[in-house]
């Protein structure tokens, strides 16, 4: 296109003519809204931590206590997301594929971790998994595993809050898979296992990755339920968000924002990788 082209013509080059009205209005609204709610607060965070200067920031970033808390936060979130991916897919499968009495109740129960205030969930879990609670006593007595008030408790809490994300992203996609492809697979001689691994799972993969990402993101940010079930000891069961709160209580705002910035960068990088994986799986399996 030449520079002399009228303005209107240039605009249509990236904006296709459409019968749907309101492109300018809705795009403007979207940008303003995203800026206000997401981008400006994140920028403020970055600016605030920038006031620290590199050396100070680096000192915070390499502080062993902070590193340990970040390791716990991200490690527990990944572990919980992995567990949720396996069992969330099974739950979704059962809810979609089978008709049994109480199915609707079970379906509704999946949303409970969404609906419950996280503090309530934390107290409930702490009661169950505490050394003198029913689950905690059993696990310690039989397997010698302490769950309540340890880093394992963190994982349990994150599994609890993250489960609905996997179930709710996989469920609709699973419902879309039509029976006929499975029937065809059977007529072609494939056993049940082969049908599931070769025919059904590849179609589910993008949804499973999304569920994993959401569950993971939720786990990284989780605070309320974790602080009840973990005993929050430095280097053992202290999560990064808790450390931010501690810094804030010490009026160390720069330190708090520094930790927040590090979390933001790591989260962003991980979500970016997951999105890449997703794009790759879509392409590989011929979606769209």
- Report d(CA 46, CA 264) in Å as an integer: 10
**Window 203-222: residues binding another protein (CB under 8 A):** 203
Q: Which is nearer to another protein, 66 or 204 (CB)?
A: 204
CA-based nearest residue to 170, from 286, 89, 103: 89
CA-based nearest residue to 156, from 74, 233, 229: 229
With contact defined as beta carbons under 8 Å apart, do 237 and 153 qualify?
Answer: yes
Q: Which is nearer to another protein, 123 or 190 (CB)?
A: 190
- Residues that bind another protein (rule: CB under 8 A) add up to a total of 22
Query: For the chain, give me the number of helices (H) and strands (E)?
Result: 16, 0
Answer yes or no whether residue 82 interacts with another protein by CB under 8 A.
no
Output the smallest distance, CB 173 to another protein, in A: 12
Output the smallest distance, CB 174 to another protein, in A: 14
Handedness of CA 110, 111, 115, 119 (dihedral sign): positive
Write the interaction track for another protein spanning residues 159-198; mark x where CB under 8 A is met and - where it is not: -------------------x-xx-xxxxxxxxx--x---x
Output the smallest distance, CB 208 to another protein, in A: 13
With contact defined as beta carbons under 8 Å apart, do 68 and 238 qualify?
Answer: yes
Q: Which is nearer to another protein, 76 or 204 (CB)?
A: 204
Where residue 177 falls (left for φ over 0; alpha for ψ -120 to 50; beta otherwise) is beta
Name the one residue in this structure whose structure tokens are 């403020």: 44
Answer yes or no whether residue 10 interacts with another protein by CB under 8 A.
no
Output the smallest distance, CB 287 to another protein, in A: 7
Write the interaction track for another protein spanning residues 266-285; mark x where CB under 8 A is met and - where it is not: ------------------xx
| Helix 151-176 × helix 118-129 angle, to 10° | 120
Output the smallest distance, CB 18 to another protein, in A: 24
Interaction site with another protein (CB under 8 A): 178, 180-181, 183-191, 194, 198-199, 202-203, 284-288
């Amino acid at each position: 296109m030449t520079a002399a082209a009228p303005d209107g013509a240039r605009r249509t080059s990236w904006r296709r003519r459409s019968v749907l009205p309101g492109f300018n209005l809705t795009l403007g609204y979207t940008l303003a809204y995203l800026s206000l709610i997401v981008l400006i607060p994140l920028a403020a965070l970055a600016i605030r931590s920038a006031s620290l200067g590199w050396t100070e920031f680096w000192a915070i970033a390499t502080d062993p206590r902070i590193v340990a808390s970040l390791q716990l936060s991200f490690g527990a979130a990944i572990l919980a997301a992995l567990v949720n991916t396996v069992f969330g897919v099974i739950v979704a499968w059962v809810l979609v594929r089978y008709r049994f009495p109480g199915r609707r109740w079970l379906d509704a129960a999946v949303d409970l971790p969404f609906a419950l205030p996280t503090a309530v969930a934390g107290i409930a879990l702490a009661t169950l998994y505490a050394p003198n609670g029913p689950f905690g006593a059993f696990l310690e007595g039989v397997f010698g595993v302490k769950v309540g008030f340890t880093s394992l408790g963190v994982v349990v809490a994150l599994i609890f809050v993250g489960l609905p994300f996997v179930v709710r992203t996989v469920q609709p996609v699973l419902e879309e898979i039509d029976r006929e492809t499975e029937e065809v697979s059977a007529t072609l001689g494939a056993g049940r296992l082969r049908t599931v691994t070769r025919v059904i799972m590849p179609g589910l993969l993008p949804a499973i990755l999304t569920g994993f990402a959401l569950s993971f993101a939720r786990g990284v940010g989780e605070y309320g339920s974790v602080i009840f079930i973990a005993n929050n000891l430095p280097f053992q069961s202290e999560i990064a968000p808790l450390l931010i709160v501690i810094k804030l209580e010490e009026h160390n705002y720069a330190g708090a924002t520094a930790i927040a910035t590090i979390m933001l960068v790591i989260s962003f990088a991980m979500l970016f990788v997951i999105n890449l994986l997703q794009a790759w799986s879509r392409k590989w399996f011929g979606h769209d």
